[in-house]
Amino acid sequence: MRSFFGKYKLFAIVFSIISIIIMVLFYKALQPKKTLTIYQPTMVNPELVDSTLQHVKKYHTVADFSLTNQNGKTITQKDYEGKIYIADFFFTTCPTICPIMTKNMAGIQEMIKEDDDVLLLSHSVTPVIDSVAQLKRYAMEKGVDDTKWNLVTGDKKQIYELARKSYLAVKTDGDGGPFDMIHTENFILVDKERRIRGFYDGTKTEDIDRLMDDLRILKASYSK
C-alpha cells in the first residue's frame, strides 16, 4: 500500500497544483470587470452643481474652451481630443493647498510621462495675476513638462464657468466677477469623450493612489 501511494505521490502533487490554478482562473473570470462611474450633475453634491444643471441625468460633458498656456499658446479641447486628462484649479500665489496640489500633480506627471494617452490641465483661478510670464516662471520652478501639462490662464468668467458648469468642482456662488473667488482641492479625471469619471482630493496621498488606480481601469476600458 505504501509503495502505491509513493508511486502516485508526484502525480497527486501536480494534479493538486493544476486544480488550484484552474480554480483561481475560474474565480478571476467570474469576477465582475471593474468600471468607473460616468458622473452626471444629478450624482454630485448639489452645492457643487450650477442650478441650471441640477436636473441633468445624462450626456454631461466638459464644454469647449479656449485659454492660453505657459508658453503663450492657445489651448482648446482640440489639444485634448482623444486623450484622457486630469484637471484642477489653482493659482500661483496660493500659500495653502495649491503647493501640495502642484507637488502631487508633478508626481502624476512623472508617472504618466511615457503614456501618450494621458495629459494634465491646470486652470488659474486668478488669471489677471497669473499672466503667461508668471505661469512660465511657475512651470519652470515646478518642473512642468510642456508636452504633458498645460497651465492655463484667460478669461476669468470662462474659467469659473468651466469649474462650476463643466467640472462640477466648486460651489456655485459668484459670477466670475472681480470679487469672485473659487478655491478647490479637486482633481478631476476626464475620459476621451470629455466625461467626468472621478473626483479626488489633490492634497491627499491616498486619493492620488486611488486616482492612479482609476486611471488604469479607464485605460483598460479603451483597450478592449
60 is in an annotated binding site: no
Q: Please give the grid coordinates belonging to residue 61.
A: 460633458
- Number of C-beta neighbours around residue 223 at 10 A: 6
Return the SS3 of 49. coil
183 is in an annotated binding site: yes
- Cα(137)–Cα(37) distance, rounded to whole angstroms? 37
- Which DSSP symbol is given to 92? T
Return the SS3 of 152. strand
Listed in sequence order, the DSSP H helices in the chain are 2-30, 97-111, 132-142, 156-161, 205-221
98 is in an annotated binding site: yes
Residues flagged as binding site: 94, 98, 183
Binding residues for Cu cation: 94, 98, 183
